[in-house]
Amino acid sequence: MSDLKRLWKETEDFVHSYEKEIAEKYINFLREVARYYISKGKRVFFRENRVVHYGEGGFGWMVIECDDDEYEVFDSHILEIRFKPRLNEKDIVGAVEIKEKNLRDIKYEI
């Protein structure tokens, strides 16, 4: 049984180290997207996913007040990012408005 415990510990450490790298890379991507749109004078809001694992629910939810099309910008659908021409209260409930000074509020805790 000690071999199985050791095997599990090695596996757990390996998965955790890569999971942390993946999360850091993705969060950095979201911060750079926010920085780009803030520099263009757009409003950006972010709500961290604190409910489920990112594999089930993404890293959080970012909404950007603009009329860009995600497929033109990213050539793909990004689960965490939405563009809306006009934000209403429902769009930003529970979210933090992101500015240059608080980009680190875009985060995901493993």
Q: Is the pLDDT of residue 7 over 90?
A: yes
Q: Is the pLDDT of residue 54 over 90?
A: no
Q: Is the pLDDT of residue 6 over 90?
A: yes
Per-residue burial over 48-84, b if 16 or more Cβ lie within 10 Å, else e, is: bbeeeebeeebbbbbbbbbeeeeeebeeeebebbebe
Percent of the chain with pLDDT over 90: 80
